Amino acid sequence: MRRPSSRLAALTPALIVALWGASCHGASPEVRVGSKKFTESVVLGEIVTQVLRSTGTRVEHRAQLGGTQVLWHALLAGEIDLYPEYTGTIREDIVREAPPDEGDDFLRSALAGRGVGMSASLGFEDSYALGMKETDAARLGVTRISDLRGLPRLRLAFSEEFLYRRDGWPTVKTHYGLPQTQVRSLDHDLAYRALAAGDVDVIDLYTTDAEIPHYHLRALDDDQGHFPRYRAVILYRLDLPARAASAVASLAILEGRITVRDMQRLNARVKLERVPEPVVAAGFLASALGIEGEAGREPRARRVGRYVAEHLALVAASLSAAILVGIPLGIIAARRRRLGAAILAVAGIVQTIPSLALLVLMIPLLGIGTLPAVAALFFYSVLPIVRNTVTGLTAIPAALIESAEILGLSSWARLLKVELPIASPSVVAGIQTSAVINVGTATLGALIGAGGLGQPILTGIRLDDLGLILEGAVPAALLALLVQALFAGLGRLVIPKGLRLRPDS
């Protein structure tokens, strides 16, 4: 009969093999399109994706991956092949050595040196601006950014990227000599709602945002010409034409074909009319370019099922690896106290790193997608398992250890037949804690293209759609409850019967 510890060891590889495969299905794409986590970028990414598919190319759209640096590094690493970008962002946040008077040819040359090409303009600009409610701007007499100098008490809220990029708030504040100190970091989509509710006074805008007319906002004039021009283009890897020449050539049809009004209308259809991006993209391609796109929408039940399978794969792979590593580390830490203190200290430090930061730290090492998400989740899962294993082993009465030694059991036999079975309640509790934490943290994997139940949550936040948020949040909560129940059952399998009996029974 198998010992409980050997049962546990046999279960973990099976979980990796069985559930990791749930997210690895279908043929590999020839081309991977990326997009940032705001609506316009997702729409443009979907338009590009459908144009490529119209040529018979296998394409994957890795939508809403994060900000500029996430997409740029993913492009350099070959995790994606192309994505929509803006010349102002390229100049200020990527090719930082570009002189202000140099044109697009300089950008193309600088990008080519890094293995990246840049298309011609898609036809529209989407610039940064500062915005206020029209009523507040009229009451205070504000029409230009310069007018903010005399209003130091205004409450400002900017997106994280705008707060720190070279052409963002730090240089706007310096360039215009603005005195405001009440500045908060707020997600771009949430900032519009905060402004409409009167919780903040000034936010950063994208000039093609549908919310500007919807919320009756005033985009303040950049009267000192601080912001560069933000023409929409496509960045692509220079090795892509060798792999998919006809597909890349087909993208030329988009150059100069999308106007500012087109983009505002497409954004409004998604954000205000709640039309899915694939449908919006297909409608534009059919009406403006005569291309038959893909307008179908995946049924909700199938979509949620896919998200759950992806989420389970992330949790199972990372948790299984954490069990395989955490229990041996806990054993070492319990037997060698000085080394154990170092192990627990390192695991504790990793646990204090914010989960989003840990995910981003994985990108330069492992790229984007499933692998870096699993790695980050693994690091988060290890500490409770190590700590509980140490606690369980060090709490064993010395008399029991001495009795095992007197019986002539070797160190290895004593570990397997006495110590781990006695410590198993604590070990299983640590695994259960890690599993529940893992289920919740795995939702952030969607930010780096790992899929899972974070995908509808992110989309719901972006579109202010409670139904989509619940589409991810409710299954995630149910999965957490299921995991708790699963490990309660695992405890009955692994923990010796005598240790499961109550003292009064």
pLDDT 10s digits, 15-31 = 444 444 444 444 567 89
Q: Which residues face 162 on adjacent strands? A: none
**φ and ψ of 414, to 5 deg:** -60, -40
Token pair in block for residue 133:
């409610």
Domain with CATH 3.40.190.120 in the chain: 128-219
Name the pLDDT band for 296 (thresholds 50, 70, 90): low
Give CA–CA dist 360/346, Å, rounded. 19
Q: What CATH number does the domain located at 35-123+230-289 have?
A: 3.40.190.10
CATH 1.10.8.60 fits 4-22+300-500, yes or no: no
Rg value, the chain, Cα: 27
Please name which of 82, 93, 78 lies closest in space to residue 47, comparing C-alpha atoms. Answer: 82
- 202-206, strands of its sheet edge to edge: 183-185, 156-158, 202-206, 128-133, 217-219
> Per-residue pLDDT tens for 35-55?
998 899 999 999 999 999 988
In 10 A of CB 215, how many CB atoms? 15
> Per-residue pLDDT tens for 353-365?
877 777 777 777 7
Question: pTM above 0.85?
Answer: no
The mean pLDDT value for 140-164 works out to: 93
Give CA–CA dist 485/483, Å, rounded. 5
Answer CATH for 128-219 from 3.30.930.10, 3.40.1160.10, 3.20.20.100, 3.40.190.120: 3.40.190.120
Give CA–CA dist 417/423, Å, rounded. 11
Query: Residue 350 burial (CB < 10 Å; 0-12/13-18/19+)?
Result: middle
